Structure 1
Amino acid sequence: MVSSPAVRRLTGLDAARGIALFGMMSTHIFPLYVPGTAEPSWIALLFTGRASALFAVVAGIGLALLTGGSAPHRAGVLSQDRRGIAVRALIIASVGLVLGGVETNIAIILFHYGILFLLALPFLGLRVPVLAAWAAGWLLLSPVAAFLLRPWIEGTLNPPSLDGNPVWEHFLEPAALLADVFVTGYYPALQWLSYLLIGVVIGRLDLARLGVQAALILGGAAAAVAAKAASGYLLGPAGGLDALLQTPDGARYPLEAMLQVSVRRLDQTGSWWWLAVSTPHSGTPFDLLHTAGTAAAVTGICLLVTRRYRQLLLPLSAPGAMTLTLYSLHICVMSWVDQQEPVIDPAPVFWFQALVAVALGILFHRIHARGPLELIASGAAQAARSGGHPASRPDRR
């Protein structure tokens, strides 16, 4: 995110961001259920929940690298880093608030993303064992906290969440805005901070080492499989699914199909068995562990592939280096697409945007330039970090 002489950018991380970008785009464009049925589409089964989690985990890795990577900065240097990250977070959140005013049915992640950056700041100076303990504890306990808070929020606040994406006007409803951002919204920061903390732990490792890359792949895959297996046991032989089918919304909707895609619109209160599901965006321990595991594995694969051939994943890494610009452009394009009559076939919509993203990414890569929004965020962050004086630091992302 900042420039300097010494350390080259890790293109594997950019490739992972590129996968996250295209995965999120696909879930915004293609139907999540097979038309006319309650069967999940392959897009939903492959990308829902995993793409956005990958985006957040890689963000945490980026924060770790901005603050020294495997040799963490301390004291005054870390304070400078935090200033720069805070300014970057405010710019990202502001872009999210602007995009929130665009007419779209997409849940825009950027405002929550910026808030997550700010929430991660106190953790950036921790030693790796302590940080890992915080990450594990947060992953296990934040869903319980959210489960306990949600009924109180819904019974106390009116409305308990925002009607749509956050916009500037919502600061006039601070209670609803806070509830939406931290607990009741599509990307609840209370649970999603787990992804950033896990990403910071990963970013404190020597990501250029083959052993670390292999550990990410094998460990991430094992965690993802274990989370699904444990959830399957609790919902199956342990009786969790039968209990959920007896809840009001479990009896009213096709719960078994929805558990594979999303249960966000269901009332997930009144039964502790809701914490046993691993449904995308459910924010349970099993959902967080599964999606964080897949994110770690994908990151490890991208790093492994690019360790000797840095340009091999260029169609992913080039757009992945300017995701803020391309994601924002995607939201604007989808706002126009969603208003067209008759409805446009999703396949050409996706491939047109994907090819444009790859072309723009490669163009900016060839001319050694940042995306416009990345340039603004990076410049402001660097100015804040250096107190208005020129400074340089390595860019290892």
Structure 2
Amino acid sequence: MTARGMTTASRTVTGTSVGARLGGIDAARGLALLAMMATHVLATFGSDAQLTPTWIGLAFSGRASALFAVLAGVGLALSTGKQQPVQGPELWAARRGIALRAVVVGAVGLCLGGLEVNIATILVHYAFLFLCVLPFVGLGAKRLLVLAAAWMAAAPVLAYLLRPWLLSAAPPLKLGHNPGWEDLAAPARLFGDLFLTGYYPVLQWIAYLLVGLAVGRMALSKTAVPFLLLAAGTVTAVLAKWLGLVLMEDWGGRRALEARIGDPAYPLDSLLQVNLAGVDQSGSVWWLATSSPHSGTTLDLLHTSGVAVAVIGACLLLGRLGTWLELDLLLPFRGIGAMTLSLYTAHVCVMAALHGLPLAPGWTVEGVYVAQAALMLVLGGFFARQKWRGPLEWVTHAANQLGRRRPSRARRPARAG
């Protein structure tokens, strides 16, 4: 190969694939983790009576976790054939691998559920999302996009109808805490919380993985696709948020919901901007018209999916820019993104260790966040340079490989003629 050919090949590896993975996808996953950590550590509401939203809450609440979920779908698509989804025995093998990987992730999540921490952990929901999309991993991009649109339209309505029924049970089918191993003894309450009444309702969140699968089935290595993702995601996000504001402010939705709540402890104006997860969204169909973070409505799903797709497009474009400049601009972020399970688990453990304790002299919550983020950037960059997996990623990879392994058929002895 000529020197020019070697340079071209090197650029191809750096710009479009790192260890057979798109570096921009890992970088987006790293950004998602850092943004989720910001909502865990830093205040999303002010301390005043009106709960004035902070810029952290306005920027990241609902969007960071949605980006994390969409990227889960992208990862599934990249590991099951990219543009051409695997079929037949290979598809079934891939599904087995994904299922075993989900079991590992769910087990880690259940272990974290036993910690005292003021964080709504996502891993158990994440594992069930993997299992729920197994029937769809063999579909192409167009079918996935149609299915995602239909899911976004139907799932919030179904959740709105079913949620009051689950909450009216005795006792209510809602945990009120992170799922842990002890909750396996009450499966009805556990599944009710995971799918409908909890912080990350799987019923609606399946839409995020469907969007991610569709994105992963696109030709991400082509120049035009990242631009398309950035443009389409931005337009979708803006239109969904604009429509939500029109319905709430101009068509009377907010006034109707404020009359429904009637509790000054829940200033609806602030909650609509940052987080509706703690509000009982029942009794008025106007709840379905909001575009608020963690409302699980059609407009919320559209807006947060649009933001996620736009971020993925931007990260892919930054990866291409780094290729052109012959610089790995995304190295620390894609390093974090390649070991998010290990780093997310470590972050939750650190916050659990600090839970209820006063900060050491000279420390602030901002300092706690910056210290964790800086350490992750250093570790991520080092692991990426060494091409190492994180410790928990090794376990999930082994589980995936075990599930994909097909038993060898024993040869039958030849019959004598």
Which residue matches 1:374? 393
Residue 325, structure 1, aligned to residue 342, structure 2: yes
* RMSD after superposition: 1.7
- Asked if structure 2 preserves the Cα contact closer than 8 Å seen for 1:57 and 1:199, the reply is yes
- Asked if structure 1 preserves the Cα contact closer than 8 Å seen for 2:37 and 2:369, the reply is yes
Which residue matches 1:253? 266
More relative contact order, 1 or 2 (CA 8 Å, 6+ apart): 1
Give the alignment partner of residue 268 of structure 1, picking from 260, 266, 281. 281
* Structure 1 residues 61 and 6: alpha-carbon distance in aligned structure 2, compared to 1, 3 A threshold: closer
Give the distance between the partners of 2:222 and 2:25, measured in 1 at CA.
14
Equivalent position SS for 1:307: helix
Which residue matches 1:175? 188
User: What CA deviation, in whole Å up to 9, does each residue of 1:77-117 have, x standing for no partner?
Assistant: 11111111111111001100011111101000000001000
- Asked if structure 1 preserves the Cα contact closer than 8 Å seen for 2:331 and 2:384, the reply is no
Give the stretch that moved more between structures: 13-22 or 355-364.
Answer: 355-364
Which residue matches 1:355? 374
Residue 252 of structure 1: how far off its partner (Å): 5.6
Give the alignment partner of residue 292 of structure 2, picking from 267, 279, 294. 279
Give the distance between the partners of 1:148 and 1:115, measured in 2 at CA.
22
Residue 62 of structure 1: how far off its partner (Å): 0.5
Give the distance between the partners of 1:39 and 1:153, measured in 2 at CA.
32
Which residue identity is paired with 2:224?
Answer: G
Correspondence list, 1:13-24, <5 A: 13-24=25-36
Which residue matches 1:88? 101
Which residue identity is paired with 2:334?
Answer: S
Which residue matches 1:393? none
User: What CA deviation, in whole Å up to 9, does each residue of 1:134-177 have, x standing for no partner?
Assistant: 11100111010000001111112413201311111111111100
- Asked if structure 1 preserves the Cα contact closer than 8 Å seen for 2:148 and 2:207, the reply is yes
The higher radius of gyration belongs to 2
Which residue identity is paired with 1:22?
Answer: L
Which residue matches 2:46? 34
Which residue identity is paired with 1:379?
Answer: A
Give the distance between the partners of 1:222 and 1:107, measured in 2 at CA.
30
Which residue matches 1:315? 332
Give the alignment partner of residue 24 of structure 2, picking from 12, 15, 20. 12
- What TM-score, normalized by structure 1, do the two folds share? 0.94
Residue 294, structure 1, aligned to residue 311, structure 2: no
- Asked if structure 2 preserves the Cα contact closer than 8 Å seen for 1:322 and 1:371, the reply is yes
Residue 279 of structure 1: how far off its partner (Å): 1.1
Equivalent position SS for 1:260: helix
| Gap runs ≥5 in structure 2 | 1-16, 409-417
- Asked if structure 1 preserves the Cα contact closer than 8 Å seen for 2:332 and 2:381, the reply is yes
Residue 320 of structure 1: how far off its partner (Å): 1.0
Give the stretch that moved more between structures: 14-23 or 248-257.
Answer: 248-257
- Asked if structure 1 preserves the Cα contact closer than 8 Å seen for 2:175 and 2:189, the reply is yes
Which residue identity is paired with 2:184?
Answer: F
* Structure 1 residues 266 and 89: alpha-carbon distance in aligned structure 2, compared to 1, 3 A threshold: same
- What TM-score, normalized by structure 2, do the two folds share? 0.89
- Asked if structure 2 preserves the Cα contact closer than 8 Å seen for 1:157 and 1:175, the reply is no
Residue 257 of structure 1: how far off its partner (Å): 1.3
| Gap runs ≥5 in structure 1 | 390-397
Which residue matches 2:221? 208
Residue 7 of structure 1: how far off its partner (Å): 6.8
Residue 295 of structure 1: how far off its partner (Å): 0.2
Give the distance between the partners of 2:387 and 2:109, measured in 1 at CA.
26
Which residue identity is paired with 2:384?
Answer: H
* Structure 1 residues 34 and 116: alpha-carbon distance in aligned structure 2, compared to 1, 3 A threshold: same
Number of aligned residue pairs: 385
Residue 242 of structure 1: how far off its partner (Å): 1.3
